[in-house]
Amino acid sequence: MMNKCMSGNEAVAYALMQINPDVMGAFPITPSTEIPEYFANYVANGQVNTEYVTVESEHSSMSVCIAAQAAGARSVCATSSCGLALMYELLYVAASCRLPITLACVNRALSGPININHDYSDSMGARDAGWIQIYAENNQEAYDNFIMAMPIGESPSIRLPVMTCMDGFITSHAVENIELLDTDVVRNFVGEYKPENYLLKKENPLAVGPYDISAYYMEHKVQEAESMKAAKARIKEVAARFAKISGRSYSLFEEYRMEDAQYAIVLMGSTAGTAKAAVDKLRQEGVKAGLIKIRVFRPFPGEELAQALANTRAVAVMDKSEGFSGNGGPLFTETRSALYDLKDRPYLIDIVFGLGGRDIKIEDIEKVFLRLANIAASGELGPVYTHLGQRSKEDVK
Amino acid sequence: MSTVYNLKREVEKPVRLTGGHRLCAGCGAGVIVAGVLRALDKEDRAVVVNATSCLEVSTFMYPYTAYMDSFIHSAFENSAATCSGVEAAYNSLKRQGKVEGNVKFITFAGDGGTYDIGFQSLSGAMERGHDMVYVCYDNEAYMNTGIQRSSSTPQFARTTTTPIGTAQIGKKQNKKDLTEILVAHNIPYVAQTAPIGNFRDLHTKAYKAIYTEGPCFMNILSPCPRGWDYPMAQLAEITKLAVDTCVWPLYEVEEGTWRLTYKPKKKLPVEKFLQLQGRFSHMFQKGNEWMIEEAQAYVDSKWERLLEHTGE
C-alpha cells in the first residue's frame, strides 16, 4: 500500500492500470477525458495488455465494449454527460446481453444549455438501463468502487454491467491524498475474466443479440430483473472481501450519526462531505441531525433505507438532478416509494439543488435541517418539492 | 488454396449460413451472405456481425440462428464499431495466448445501416484500420421497416416516403456513391460487386477482402422483391441487368489501383433494368420520358468517370 496525491480521474485510471483490462473504448469528453489520457500513457509505456480503441464517438465506445465483452474480453470505458446520453440505446443492449462491462461515469450536467459542471442528470437518465450504479463521495471511494466493480458485475449469478460514478470536477479534478493498494493485491482481488461462453471460444460458437419475440422477451427481462435484485447481496459480499484487503468498509449506503437521529438528509456523492460538517455542527448545538449517503443507487436499497429512516421524524431528500417528473427528483421518488411500507412514516420533502454545478454550503444544509425541525414541530409539511440555491427574479434585478 | 475459382469446389464446402432462415424468396441478401462466407477457408473461423436489418431479424430469431460461426448483433447504426470491438478483443486475447486459431471478422449491414445511420461508425472503423470486412448488402431503401427511402435509393424510385404524387414523383435526389467514399478512406481494398452468373466476381472479391490485412469494404447490390416490386423468380435477371446497363458496375480498388472487373459486351439501355421493377413503373408513363433520359444521362456520366479511373 502507498499514499499518493491524486485526482479522482487519475485514481480511476490508476485502478484501470492495476486491473489491466483487455479492451478499452476511448473517447474524450469533459470532465472524464483525463481517464483515457492517463491510461494512454500506460498503453504507450507497455504497462498494460489492453487493446486501446480510440473510437469516433461514445456510441462506438460502448459498441466496442459490448462486442469485446461478448467476444470474451474484459472491457472498460469512461464518459460524462452527453457522452453517456449518446450511449443510451447501447446501455440497455449491454445489460440485456448480460455483459459485465465497467464504465467510469464522471457525472456532469446534461445539455441544454451546455454546461460542464456537476450534477447527476447524466447517470440518472440511465438509471433504468439495467446497470448497477455505485456513487463515490471522494477520490478514495472512486478508486475503491472501481476495483470492486468487476467482482460484482462479472459474478456468474449477476452478469450485469457496472457504472461507477464520481462528481465531475469536484471529485474528478480535485487532488486528495489517497491510499492505493498494491497492484498484485488488486489483480488477485479482481481476478481473471472467465465467461462461460464467448464469441471467440473455439469449441462452441455463440450467437449474441437475437431478435427476441414476445414469446421469449419477457423471460429474458425477468431474468435481468432478478439479477439486479440479487446484486444487492453480491455488492455486500464484495465489500466485505474488499475490507479485508483495504481496511475500508462499504455498504449500500453510509449512515452518518443516524443512530438516534430525528432529522435526516438523504443525498449522494461529494455533497455528503458538506452535509457531514453541517450534521456535526448541529449535533454540537443539540440538534439530532443525521445523514444517509446513498452509495448504491441501482439496485436501490429500498428496504434497508426504510429501516434506517424508520425512527426519524422528518427527512429531506436532496436531489442533485432535476427529474422533470413534476413530482420530485429521482432520489426522492425512490425514497418515498421505499418509505411507503413503514408503519409510521417520517415527514418527507424533496430539495433539488446544485444543478449545473451550483455550489452548496454548510449553511444551506443547516437551513434544510432547520426546515425539517420546523415541520416536525408544527406538523405542517408545506411544499414537498422545492429547489434550493437558485436566484429569484428579484435577486436578478 | 488455389486462387483459381472453381464453383464446384466452393459449393462442396460446408455451408456457413444454413437454410431455414426467414428471408423472402427472391431476396438478394441470403445469396450474398452465403456467397461471401463461402470464401472463407474451411479451417478458419469467423465472427459474423449484423446491423439491425431484414437480414438480422430473419437469420437470428431467438432461439434459432442460421449462422454456423459465432455471431453478434447489437444495434442498427453500430455494426462497424461492433466488428471492431470483436477484432480488438481478438488482438488482446491473442496477445495473451488466450485464443487459438485464425478468426476473421465480417460485418453485414443494409444500405440504411451503412450509407445513413451507420456511416459514422463505418468511417471510424475503416480509419482505425481494424482487420475486418464490412459488407453492405445494398437494396436501396429501408426494407425492414417497409420500404422507406435511404441515401442509397436511386432518383425517381418510388418508396413509401417518396411516393408518386402530383407535386412530387418518387425520390428527388441521386444515389450517394458510397463505394467511392470508401475508396477515399485509402483502405487496402474496396470492391463493388453483385451476385451474378456463377459467383466468380463476388467470390474472388470476398476472398480478397477477407484475406487482405486491414479494413476492407464490399458494396454488393441486393435486389429486394418487395421494395423493388418484381416477381421473385427474376432475382438473377434483374441483378444481371443492373450490371449490363452499367447501373451497378463491377470494379475493385486495390491499394489505390482501380480495376474494372467486368465490362458488358454491349452496354444495355437503362430502361431494360428499370422496366422490370414496379418502383420505376411511373417513369414509363406518357409525359415522363424525361425521367428515363435523365436516369440514362446519370448512368452514362458515372460510367464514363469510372472508365477514366480504371484507365479503360
Average pLDDT, chain B: 97
Q: Please answer whether residues B105 and B132 qualify as being in contact, where contact means their C-beta atoms are separated by less than 8 angstroms.
A: yes
State yes or no: pLDDT of B218 exceeds 80: yes
- The alpha-carbon gap from A139 to the nearest alpha carbon of chain B, in Å, equals 30
Q: Where are the beta strands (DSSP E) in chain B?
A: 45-50, 60-61, 64-65, 70-73, 103-110, 133-138, 189-193, 216-221, 251-254, 257-260
Which chain A residues are within 8 Å of B92, Cβ to Cβ?
22-23, 49-51, 68, 73
Which chain B residues are within 8 Å of A216, Cβ to Cβ?
62-63
**Hey, what's the cell of A289?**
441531525
Q: Residue A209: which of B74, B83, B85 has the nearest Cβ?
A: B74
Closest residue in chain B to residue A91, using alpha carbons only: B74
3-class state of residue B176 by DSSP: coil
Angle at B295 between CA B289 and CA B301, to 5 degrees: 135
Which one-letter DSSP state was computed for residue B159?
-
CB < 8 Å & 24+ apart, contacts of B239-244: B239/B28, B239/B194, B239/B195, B239/B196, B240/B196, B240/B197, B241/B268, B241/B272, B241/B273, B241/B276, B242/B194, B242/B273, B243/B194, B243/B196, B244/B268, B244/B272
Q: Which residues contact A169 (CB under 8 A, 6 or more apart)?
A: A31, A116, A117, A118, A357
> Domains of chain A: which residue ranges?
2-246, 253-396
Q: Give residue B3's pLDDT.
A: 67
Which one-letter DSSP state was computed for residue B270?
T
What pTM did the predictor assign?
0.98
Q: Do domains A2-246 and A253-396 have the same CATH topology?
A: yes
- The model's pLDDT over B160-215, given as tens digits with 9 standing for 90+, comes to 999 999 999 999 999 999 999 999 999 999 999 999 999 999 999 999 999 999 99
Is the CB of residue B97 less than 8 Å away from at least one CB of chain A? no
Q: Give residue A55's pLDDT.
A: 98
Residue of A295, A338, A328, A298 lying closest to A126 (CA atoms): A298
Query: Inter-chain contact A63–B85, Cβ cutoff 8 Å?
Result: yes
CA pseudo-torsion sign A89, A59, A106, A226: positive
Q: Where residue B312 falls among pLDDT bands split at 50, 70, 90?
A: confident
Which chain A residues are within 8 Å of B120, Cβ to Cβ?
56-57, 60
- The model's pLDDT over A34-86, given as tens digits with 9 standing for 90+, comes to 999 999 999 999 999 999 999 999 999 999 999 999 999 999 999 999 999 99
Do the strands A132-135 and A296-298 form a parallel or antiparallel pair, or are they unpaired? antiparallel
Q: Which residues contact B16 (CB under 8 A, 6 or more apart)?
A: B34, B37, B38, B40, B46, B67, B68, B69
Low-confidence ranges of chain A (pLDDT < 50): none
CA distances from B147 to B160, B161, B227, B309 (A): 6, 8, 6, 33
Is the CB of residue B307 less than 8 Å away from at least one CB of chain A? no
Q: Residue B88: which of A68, A205, A216 has the nearest Cβ?
A: A68
What is the distance between the alpha carbons of residues A208 and B179, in angstroms, rounded to a whole number? Answer: 29
- The alpha-carbon gap from A174 to the nearest alpha carbon of chain B, in Å, equals 33
- The alpha-carbon gap from B255 to the nearest alpha carbon of chain A, in Å, equals 24
Q: Residue B92: which of A25, A50, A55 has the nearest Cβ?
A: A50
Query: Inter-chain contact B73–A25, Cβ cutoff 8 Å?
Result: no
What is the distance between the alpha carbons of residues B247 and B229, in angstroms, rounded to a whole number? Answer: 17
Other Cβ atoms closer than 10 A to A214: 6
Taking every pair of Cα atoms in chain A, the longest distance, rounded to a whole number of angstroms, is: 73
3-class state of residue A25 by DSSP: strand
Q: Which CATH class is domain A253-396?
A: alpha beta
Closest residue in chain B to residue A63, using alpha carbons only: B82
Query: Inter-chain contact B74–A68, Cβ cutoff 8 Å?
Result: no
Question: Hey, which CATH number is domain A2-246, 3.40.50.970, 3.40.630.30, 3.40.50.720, 3.40.50.300?
Answer: 3.40.50.970
Q: Which helix (H) or strand (E) holds A164?
A: strand A162-167
- The alpha-carbon gap from A79 to the nearest alpha carbon of chain B, in Å, equals 17
Closest residue in chain B to residue A56, using alpha carbons only: B124
Mark out chain A residues that contact chain B at CB-CB < 8 A: 22-23, 25, 49-51, 53-57, 59-60, 63-73, 75, 89-90, 93, 97, 199-202, 205-213, 216
Query: Inter-chain contact A53–B78, Cβ cutoff 8 Å?
Result: no
Q: Please answer whether residues A63 and B74 qualify as being in contact, where contact means their C-beta atoms are separated by less than 8 angstroms.
A: yes
Closest residue in chain A to residue B47, using alpha carbons only: A199
- The DSSP bridge partners found for residue A132 are A162
Q: Which of A24, A51, A197 to mutate to test the interface with B (most CBs of B within 10 A)?
A: A51
Query: Inter-chain contact B84–A64, Cβ cutoff 8 Å?
Result: yes
Q: What is the CATH number of domain B7-310?
A: 3.40.50.970
Taking only Cα atoms into account, the Rg of chain A, rounded to an integer number of angstroms, comes to: 21
Is the CB of residue B119 less than 8 Å away from at least one CB of chain A? no
CA pseudo-torsion sign B145, B146, B150, B152: positive
Q: Please answer whether residues A298 and A229 qualify as being in contact, where contact means their C-beta atoms are separated by less than 8 angstroms.
A: no
Residue of B182, B139, B186, B178 lying closest to B32 (CA atoms): B139
What is the distance between the alpha carbons of residues B135 and B53, in angstroms, rounded to a whole number? Answer: 13
Q: Give residue B2's pLDDT.
A: 53
- The alpha-carbon gap from B48 to the nearest alpha carbon of chain A, in Å, equals 9
> Domains of chain B: which residue ranges?
7-310
Is the CB of residue B239 less than 8 Å away from at least one CB of chain A? no
Question: Which B-chain residues 35-94 have CB contacts (< 8 A) with chain A?
Answer: 45, 47, 49, 56-57, 60-63, 65, 67-75, 77-78, 81-86, 88-93
3-class state of residue A281 by DSSP: helix
Do the strands B70-73 and B45-50 form a parallel or antiparallel pair, or are they unpaired? parallel
